[in-house]
A and B are shown apart, each in its own frame.
Chain A
Amino acid sequence: MTADPPRPGPAPAPAPAAATAGPASATATAGSTPTAATTGPTPTAASGGPGAPGRANRRRRRWHRLAVPLGLAALLITATLVAHAVDQPDPTEPGFLSPVATDADGGSRLAADLRARGVAVRRETDTARALLATSGGAATLFVPAPGLLHPETVGALRDLPGRTRLVLVDPPRRVLEGADLPLVPAGRRWAARAVGPDADGRPCPLPEAARAGVAAVERQRYAVAPDRSTGRVERCYAGGLARVPQTETVVVGASDPFRNDRIDERGNRELAAGLLGRTGQVVWLDLDGPAPPPRPGDGSSDEPAWSPHPEPGDGDAAGDGRSGDAGAGDSAGSGSRGGTGRADRPSPPNPLWAAFPAWFWALLAQLTLAALLLALWRARRLGPPVAEPLPVVVRSAETVLGRARLYQRARARGPAAGTLRAAALTRLLPRLHLPADPPPTTVAAAVAARAGGTTAQAHTLLYGDAPATDRELLDLARALDRLTRTVAATPDPRPADAGPPAPAPADTGPAPAVAPRPRPAPSKEDPR
């Protein structure tokens, strides 16, 4: 058995071929949808129901807010997975692509179709006999479930007679390697897709595929093995079908074209019949479960030379010595699909046990217990952690500093320079005894007269262009700072007629904090 969940209800029942997996999946989803519908309203009814306190109610509702969507999603995913598992056939099931099985997974319709075309279908349930049967002449060996082949018989597939065609359905990697095919699995789809033979743009040289046209082949894709790129490989259906002409082996990535339930769709029937019916005889290997290991001793002397035991010793003795109870299990019932021999073997005692004396392990155990006690002691806190509301740590100048950083990041040199110039003017005008909004030429002249330099320089400084670089902005800021300091420090040339008391330079010295910003002194007075 594989890891797939066990198939529920309808599949094992011998349903008619028409009652296919499609409706089965529909019932599965339909069966799960009411579950969602019933679980949906239940929590809402519970939350809206009894007069629980608002807080508990709110907490429960908050819990619901997380649980309901997640639960719905989980339900949807589960339903999808179950539906998929039901829909996709299990190659390890007995009756999968069997020429005598008439249910959805069976291959009875294909067998009947082949017979109708005059192809002899020979069903074999034993690997060795199937191999023997192919040795007669031109035949096609059809292996619907290569995964069930015993690892030791896979090697025999490469030694088939030259005119035998081998058709493998969805072979796993180990079979590809065992059969020495230059192919590797390259990506697997969620479900089979019907594509044209030359879907990936490459022409398909296989005449059967060209006849069949679109078929549901692309599920497992195959690519040429990177280290074996020498052999010629024909790939069709976007890699879903590959033929190795050297050994006349055809690998099909999906079981859909052969299955009873899908054989009628698109060109499935034509493709399956074409692949199998070319040689006029089909040896159909119908395995019920994992094939038993080959027994080289039994059988007639004309056995093909595919002995899987290359050891020089006697095959019988080697077989007994290697797998004692595996052989016993096989003789008890070859049809039992239990575990293979290897899993049943008891593991030998760990040699590490014997490497140290018993007291060492006891010491280790006791020290572990002591460490556990230590952990228990440390786990109990002496009092709970104490919580306390913390004061705000934001500085009150934080907005100003943040704005400065924004200016810098935005390279807002123009606005920054404008602000600096406006502030400098605000500070200069009262000291120069100028009105509130004087013409620039007047200001420039007054500044030049008071602080030195030319009128043009002062004009450029106070009313010039916006700086283009940070360096220029810094120079401008420095020049404005120097100017205001100079004007503040230079004695007023006409102190007598000054209406508002111009601050004397001596005043600005000891109190630099307020010096550059002459607040209008009367503002503290009563304006009325």
Chain B
Amino acid sequence: MTWRAAALLAAGAVTLPLWPAPFAGVALMTVAVLGLTALDWALAAPLAAISAARDGDRRVRLGGTATVTLRLANASARTLRAQVHDDWVPSAGARPDLPPGRLVRVEPGDTVALPTRLTPLRRGDRPAAALTVRSYGPLGLAFRQRAGRPGTPPWTLRVLPRFDSRRHLPEKLSRLRVLAGTQVARGRGEGTEFDALREYVAGDDVRSIDWRASARRADVLVRTWRPERDRRLVCVLDTGRTSAARIGDEPRLDTYLDAALLLTALAARAGDRVDLIAADTVLRAAVTGAGRPALLARLVDAVAPLQPALVETDFGLIAGEVLRRERQRGLVVIFTALEAGALGEGLLPVLPRLAARHRVVVAAAHDPVLAALTRDPPTRPADAYAAAAAFRALAERDRVRAALARHGVTVVDAPAAHLAPAVADTYLRLKALGRL
């Protein structure tokens, strides 16, 4: 029953002073209202004949708006007057086009489309939770409503990472082009991989003359070099507990994803093969960079649903996984936090195995709050204590850096906002030095 039944009864109560037998009037009116309500309930469109389906966007970038349309089909012989409540998880930011209180009217055999606009608040998979249809009778006195009828059509909106560091991509790509020599004349020093032999022309560096080849031919030949291509690059994302902590407004993992995506885009353009592994105690995601053209899209799709797990990361598993997948020597970029406990007990024991086969870079994002604590002049006693605590944390981080550096690991430690360009710069530098 609805408020209308209650209002009817309350309105009838006003007439009671006029009744000769008031209590008989109460009984009569109550029975009448309940009878009307029952009749209305019987006349409401049956829920079993209603079916629901969805179509619309499957993916949306964080910050964007997607539209998913719910289609209600009325297969019964009665007109459906219904209140439809399409529940999504709260972080999906669902706003139905139709106001929630408005009645939907569907004629028999007809279908109605109910679009919902979704502006998700967080990255990851945002599922539709529950569909509730409340079918009213023609008088609006009673309704039929039952959980799971019609069944909720499943739908999951995948919210992709924002990839804010895209804006760094043109600059890094132009530096890459300088490296590759497509903008500047090729010359020695711009690469370490042997490219071809060609005839000497005036202006070439005499040091690059290949005397043995010149002796075989009647000409003076010089060797040309080019940057290495087809190198292996593995991005390892630590999705353990340290990646759950927030830096600014987002978890640390999102910072890692941003940097990993920029690195992938850059390396794919440079002709390297990029793999990605995300793991904590189990392997969460693994992408192998076989098909280059769609690599970035596939990678984004694979990392979008990653969520931090509140467990200690098993670096032994990660090392085993990397060693199993990558036979050739390659660059392994581990995105994690420079934390003495997590790295000292997890990463350092397995690091020698990894560093013997691959070149390892540890990329860590730190909180700019920490730097601000050590930088700003203290004004209160609490600031002095905070500065001491921050210095202590930085000293601990430096110890971890030193321990990692002893194994020949390059450490990139940057504030969260600058991690992506810093990692890209490191990659470009290593590529320029031919150290991949």
- Residues of chain A having any CB pair with chain B under 8 Å: 357-359, 361-363, 365-367, 369-371, 373-374, 376-377, 380, 382-384, 386, 388-389, 391-401, 403-405, 407-408, 412, 415-417, 419-420, 422-423, 426, 470-471, 473-474, 476-478, 481-482, 512-513, 515-517, 523-524, 526-528
CB of B81 within 8 Å of the partner chain: no
> CA A474 – CA B381 in complex, angstroms?
5
Known: A419-B389, A524-B426. 16 other contacts (CB 8 A): A362-B16, A362-B26, A363-B17, A367-B10, A384-B147, A391-B246, A392-B246, A400-B369, A404-B385, A404-B388, A416-B388, A423-B391, A426-B395, A474-B383, A477-B378, A526-B410
Among B86-94, B214-222, B298-306, B343-351, the stretch in contact with A = B86-94
In the bound complex, CA of A417 to CA of B391 (Å): 11
Chain A minimum-CB-distance residue to B101 = A382
Q: How far does the alpha carbon of A161 sit from the alpha carbon of B381 in the complex, in Å?
A: 88
Cβ–Cβ contact A359 & B22, under 8 A: yes
Would you call A404 and B389 a contact (CB within 8 A)? Answer: yes
Chain B interface size band reads 35 or more
* One of B6, B88, B384 near A477 (C-beta < 8 A): B384
Q: Which of B13, B14, B22, B383 contacts A358 (CB 8 A)?
A: B22
Residues of A within 8 A of B251 (CB): 391-392
The reply to whether A481 and B371 form a contact with Cβ atoms under 8 Å apart is no
Q: How many A-B residue contacts, CB cutoff 8 Å?
A: 210
Which of chain B's residues has its CB closest to A526's CB?
B435
| Chain A residue nearest to B14 in the complex (CB) | A363
Mind listing 20 A-B residue pairs with CB under 8 Å? A359-B19, A361-B23, A363-B17, A369-B26, A374-B6, A382-B132, A382-B145, A384-B87, A384-B130, A384-B132, A386-B129, A388-B89, A389-B307, A400-B373, A404-B390, A408-B385, A470-B381, A477-B384, A513-B371, A524-B410
Give B contacts to A, CB under 8 Å. 1-3, 5-7, 9-10, 12-14, 16-17, 19, 22-23, 25-26, 29-30, 33, 83, 85, 87-91, 122, 129-132, 134, 145, 147, 244-247, 251-252, 307-308, 310, 337, 366-371, 373-375, 377-378, 380-395, 401, 405, 408, 410-412, 415, 426, 433, 435
Return the contact of B384 from the options A370, A476, A527 (Cβ within 8 A): A476
The residue in chain A whose Cβ has the minimal distance to the Cβ of B388 is A416
What are the 9 A-B residue pairs with the smallest beta carbon separation, nearest first? A362-B22, A383-B132, A470-B381, A416-B388, A396-B245, A423-B391, A477-B384, A366-B13, A373-B6
CB of B96, distance to nearest CB on chain A (Å): 12
Is A391 a contact of B122 with CB atoms below 8 Å?
A: yes
In the bound assembly, the distance between CA atoms of A495 and B415 in angstroms comes to 31
- A377 adjacent to B2 (CB under 8 Å): yes
Given contacts A376-B1, A513-B375, contact A419 B392 (CB under 8 A): yes
**Nearest CB of B to A100, in Å:** 61
Provided the pairs A366-B30, A388-B91, A393-B246 are in contact, do residues A407 and B385 lie with their beta carbons within 8 angstroms? Answer: yes
Contact of A527 among B3, B369, B408 (CB under 8 A): B408
A370 pairs with B252, CB closer than 8 A: no
Check A366/B9 contact, CB under 8 A, given A358-B23, A376-B1, A400-B370.
yes
Residues on B with beta carbons closer than 8 Å to the beta carbon of A405: 382, 385
B26 adjacent to A365 (CB under 8 Å) = yes
User: Interface on chain A toward B: helix, strand, loop, or mixed SS?
Assistant: helix
B386 and A401 contact, CB distance less than 8 A: yes
Quick check: A474 and B384 within 8 Å, CB to CB?
yes
**Which residues in B have their C-beta under 8 angstroms from that of A481?**
377-378
CA distance A383 to B337 in the complex (A): 42
Residues of B within 8 A of A365 (CB): 23, 26
Contact of B25 among A362, A415, A477 (CB under 8 A): A362
Contact: B29 with A408, CB < 8 Å?
A: no
| Cβ-defined partner of B387 (8 Å) among A358, A370, A420 | A420
Partner of B252, one of A377, A396, A423, A517: A396
CB atoms of B26 and A373 under 8 A apart: no
Chain B positions within 8 Å of A474 at CB level = 378, 380-381, 383-384
- B385 pairs with A377, CB closer than 8 A: no
Q: Known A373-B9, A383-B87, A523-B401; judge A394-B246 contact (CB<8 A).
A: yes
CB distance B147 to A423 under 8 Å? no
Closest chain A residue to B152, Cβ basis:
A383
**Nearest CB in chain B to that of A515: its residue:** B375
Q: When the two chains form their complex, are residues B1 and A391 in contact, meaning their CB atoms are under 8 A apart?
A: no
Instruction: Name the B residues within 8 Å of A527 (CB-CB).
Output: 405, 408
Once the chains are docked, how many angstroms separate the CA of A30 from the CA of B382?
Answer: 68
The distance from the CB of B399 to the nearest CB of chain A, in whole angstroms, is 12
> Nearest chain B CB to A519's CB is how many angstroms away?
8
CB-based contact B13/A370 at 8 Å = yes
B89 proximity list for chain A (CB < 8 A): 386, 388
Which of chain A's residues have a CB closer than 8 A to the CB of B374?
A: 423, 516-517
Decide if B6 touches A478 in the complex (CB within 8 Å).
Answer: no
With A386-B89, A477-B378 known as contacts, the answer to whether A419 contacts B388 (CB < 8 A) is yes
Q: Known: A363-B16, A392-B246, A401-B386. Is A512-B9 also a contact (CB below 8 A)?
A: no
Q: B411 and A523: CB pair below 8 A? A: yes
A420 to B388, Cβ gap below 8 A?
A: yes
Q: How far is the CA of A515 from the CA of B376 in the complex (A)?
A: 12
- In the complex with contacts A359-B22, A386-B129, A392-B384 CB distance below 8 A: no
Kindly state the separation between the CA atoms of A371 and B1 in the bound complex, as whole angstroms.
12
A380 touches B145 (CB 8 A): yes
The answer to whether B7 touches A388, judged by C-beta atoms less than 8 angstroms apart, is: no
A448 CB, nearest partner CB in chain B, Å: 21
Closest A residue by C-beta to B86:
A383
Query: What are the residues of chain A within 8 A of B23 when measuring CB–CB?
Result: 358, 361-362, 365
- Do A367 and B310 form a contact, CB below 8 Å, given A386-B90, A399-B393, A420-B391? no
Shortest Cβ gap from B2 to chain A (Å): 5
Q: Inside 8 A of B382's CB, which chain A residues have their CB? A: 404-405, 408
Tell me the bound Cα distance from A420 to B386 in angstroms: 10
